[in-house]
Amino acid sequence: MDRSALQRGALGVDLRPGRALWLVAPVVLAALPFVADALGDASITTLATRIVILCIAAASLNLALGYGGMVSFGHAAFLGVGGYTVGMLYSHFVAGAPFLGFVPGTDQMLLTLPAAMIASGLAAAAIGALSLRTGGVQFIMITLAFAQMLFFLFVSLKAYGGDDGMIVRRRNALPFLDTRNDTTFYFVCLVLAAAWLGLLSRIVGSRFGLVLGGIRQSERRMAALGVPIYRYKLAAFVISGMGTGLAGALLGNFSRFVSPDMMHWTQSGELMIMVILGGVGTLMGPVLGAAALIGLETVLAGWTEHWQVVMGPLLVLIVLYLPRGLGSLVSRKAGGRHG
């Protein structure tokens, strides 16, 4: 048995140093809405739902950014495409007129979530196919440019609310479950997040994941091994985009509102901050990053209207003193990319 196998559990996650966290976290997460009810503060559940949803997006970005070395500054585009898929399908469902004349609208989550992932996957394929012909700073800039193009496209789409965005009057429905109940919706998001993170952890440890990690470390080496690099990067970018689209679809359902702001470059930046804050190229890093960023935002915003003034220096300090992210606090090896 080799070293890395000993350190990794069934899902390829590190079980040694952060073991306590792995046992405690599911219990805390499952109990959270009930504790919130007991405290009479329903906003805790709402906050946790938002964090869980953005965990999906941050972890997805991390597949491209952390594991694949593709620093995308345009992932908000996929968040927005996911959200708008939900919003547009809902508006066509309400209006009864099919989208483009042949795609019927729907309010069924079992249809809207896969549709959102397909739509954002296609967007990622198109944007990735062009952007991945470049690298380094050009890649950062071109992904940013594409995301801004989509942003302005949706701003100008008056049929879907333009820059006002569009309201999704009711959350998408699930059979046997009442998604309008915040606790139920929280658990739906939690299960999806766990499933998506589990899938990502398998991907990272699979043959595909190893090739992706190899490309990040040395493209020349991988090319000399005979790897067609572009294809693998594009595939990872598409998977990353699909996960972000899933998060966007859930976010649209969560706030029952989608707007071009979901695609704004500041949103892309926020996703990047989550990844960097938590720990680039680690499985749990983005989860911690998302929790920390949204948690801080909420706490500081409740305290002062100028919360950014506090948030900025705080982020700088965290990155300065924990260059491997918050994950390195929990697990000694979280900063490394593998065991």
Partner 1 sequence: MAEPLLAVEGLVKRFGGLVATDHLSLDVREGELHALIGPNGAGKTTFIAQLMGELRPSEGAIRLSGVEIGRLGTAARVRMGLGRTFQIVQLLPDETALDNVALAVQVRHGHSFRFWRAARRDASLRDPARDYLAMAGLAARADVPVSALSHGEQKQLELAVALAGEPRLLLLDEPMAGLGPSESRQMQDLLAGLKGRIGMLLVEHDMETVFALADRISVLVHGRVIASGDAAAIQASPEVRVAYLGEGDV
Among residues 174, 146, 157, which one has the least CA distance to residue 99?
157
The burial of 29, by beta-carbon neighbours within 10 Å (0-12 exposed, 13-18 middle, 19 or more buried), is given as: middle
Q: Determine, following the binding rule CB under 8 A, whether residue 129 of this chain makes contact with partner 1.
A: no
User: Is residue 206 part of the contact set for partner 1 (CB under 8 A)?
Assistant: yes
Least Cβ distance, residue 206 to partner 1 (angstroms)? 5
Write the Ramachandran bin of 12: left for phi over 0, alpha for psi from -120 to 50, otherwise beta: left
Tokens of 71: 């620093």
State the CB neighbour count (10 A cutoff) for residue 174: 15
Question: Of residues 37, 170, 202, 296, which one binds partner 1 by CB under 8 A?
Answer: 202
Of 186-194, 211-219, 308-316, 325-333, which part binds partner 1 (CB under 8 A)? 211-219
Q: How far is the CB of 283 from partner 1 (least distance, A)?
A: 14
Specify the residue, 101 or 228, whose C-beta has the smaller distance to partner 1: 228
Contact present, 169 and 94 (Cβ < 8 Å): yes
Interaction residues for partner 1, span 257-316 (CB under 8 A): none
Does residue 162 touch partner 1 according to CB under 8 A? no
Instruction: Confirm or reject binding of residue 3 to partner 1 (CB under 8 A).
Output: yes
Q: Is 5 or 316 the residue whose CB approaches partner 1 more closely?
A: 5
Q: Which residue has the tokens 């350190």?
A: 7
d(CA 294, CA 88): 27
Using rule CB under 8 A, residue 333 touches partner 1: no
Q: Considering the complex, state which of residue 69 and residue 83 has its C-beta at the smaller distance from partner 1.
A: 69
Residue 64 engages partner 1 in binding (rule: CB under 8 A): no
Coil, strand, or helix at residue 339?
Answer: coil
Tell me if 110 sits within 8 A of 175, measured CB to CB.
Answer: yes
DSSP notation for 192-236: HHHHHHHHHHHHHHSHHHHHHHHHHH-HHHHHHHT--HHHHHHHH
Q: How far apart are CA 188 and CA 195, in angstroms?
A: 11
Question: How far apart are alpha carbons 220 and 204 in whole angstroms?
Answer: 21
| Gap between the Cα atoms of 24 and 68, Å rounded | 30
Report the residue number, 80 or 213, with the smaller CB distance to partner 1.
Answer: 213
- Rounded least distance, CB 17 to partner 1, Å: 18
Q: Which stretch binds partner 1 (CB under 8 A): 43-51, 95-103, 198-206, 284-292?
A: 198-206
Stretch that binds partner 1, among 1-9, 26-34, 93-101, 265-273 (CB under 8 A): 1-9
Chosen residue from 97, 177, 195, 210 binding partner 1 by CB under 8 A: 210
Question: In angstroms, what is the minimal distance from the CB of 59 to partner 1?
Answer: 15
Residue 335 touches partner 1, criterion: CB under 8 A: no
The number of C-alpha atoms within 13 Å of 230 and in the hemisphere containing its C-beta is: 8
Is 211 an interacting residue with respect to partner 1 (CB under 8 A)?
yes
136 binds partner 1 (CB under 8 A): no
- Min. distance of Cβ 202 from partner 1 in angstroms? 5
Candidates 21, 235, 300, 319; binder of partner 1 (CB under 8 A) is 235
Residues that bind partner 1 (CB under 8 A): 1-5, 8, 12, 202-203, 205-211, 213-214, 217-218, 220-228, 232, 235, 336-338
